[in-house]
Copies of this chain bind each other. A is one copy, B any other.
Amino acid sequence: MASPQPRTALMFVANGSEDVETVGTLDVLRRAQVQVTVVAVEQAANASHVELSNGTKLVPDQRLEDTTALALTKFDAVVIPGGGPGTQTLKQNGTVLQVLRSYDQNKKTVAAICAGPTVLQAARLGLPSVQGGGAATTLAHRCLRLTSYPTARAQLESDYDYCEDTVVVDGHIITSRGPATALHFGVAIAKALVGDKVATKVAQDMLVV
């Protein structure tokens, strides 16, 4: 029997993405045999790495500027770590927002942690488009359930069904709260991509309870 095609994920990072939310999520996904490609947004041209919000120097796999739009659509999931400065950069990048909309429209996994869900909001996931949508549409869309870092709550709860669970899975959209929930977040993404059995084994190996 041929091995199944490996599952893949795209993670966007920038200078100021949160350290453990980035690396903890990567760690879980790669243990689950998900092939993760880390794409740096606005990495300085002469820098070998991005600097995460607390000083971790991370070498990405690719730079956004060296990547075609088509290549960005080929993954099974897209992942957005938190960190204030990092998410500001992601929010302001039209390509990132377009990729998020594309994955959402194709019902592929879209995952965001901490301040990351505000990038989903900037891409208007689960919200009426700027042109369309009346009151009924708005109401329907407000059923998207998500969570975030506590300080992002005020900004999100006007648009979403906000809750404070460690991880919230609403269809293909997975959100989580912050640094201490990064491994749980990774496990939830792994479950969506490779199934409960593999994800649970990884969680056990990492002592996630």
- Which residue of chain B has its CB nearest to the CB of A59? B57
Stretch at the interface among A17-25, A90-98, A154-162: A17-25
Bound-complex Cα distance A74 to B72 (A) = 46
Contact of A31 among B24, B54, B149, B150 (CB under 8 A): B54
Bound-complex Cα distance A209 to B164 (A) = 14
Number of copies: 2
A101, CB-defined interface residue at 8 Å = no
Bound-complex Cα distance A18 to B183 (A) = 14
Chain A 148-175, CB-CB to B under 8 Å as 1, else 0, gives 0110000000000000000000000000
Bound-complex Cα distance A48 to B36 (A) = 20
Interface size class of A (residues with CB under 8 A): 20 to 34
Q: For the complex formed, measure the closest distance between the CB of A54 and the CB atoms of chain B, giving whole angstroms.
A: 4
Contacts A27-B56, A49-B59 known; A207 to B181 CB distance under 8 Å?
yes
Bound-complex Cα distance A178 to B183 (A) = 12
> Which residues in window 5-44 of A have CB below 8 A to B?
18-20, 22-24, 26-27, 30-31, 36
Q: Could you tell me if B183 and A26 are in contact, using CB atoms closer than 8 angstroms?
A: no
Contacts of A18 in B (CB 8 A): 27
Q: Could you tell me if A20 and B30 are in contact, using CB atoms closer than 8 angstroms?
A: no
Contact of A27 among B54, B181, B209 (CB under 8 A): B54
Contacts of A23 in B (CB 8 A): 19-20, 22-24, 52, 56
- Which residue of chain B has its CB nearest to the CB of A60? B57
9 contacts between A and B (CB under 8 A): A20-B23, A23-B23, A24-B24, A27-B56, A48-B49, A48-B59, A149-B207, A178-B206, A181-B207
Name 12 extra pairs, CB < 8 A, besides A23-B52, A180-B207.
A19-B27, A26-B54, A26-B56, A27-B179, A30-B54, A36-B55, A48-B48, A49-B57, A57-B59, A58-B58, A178-B206, A179-B206
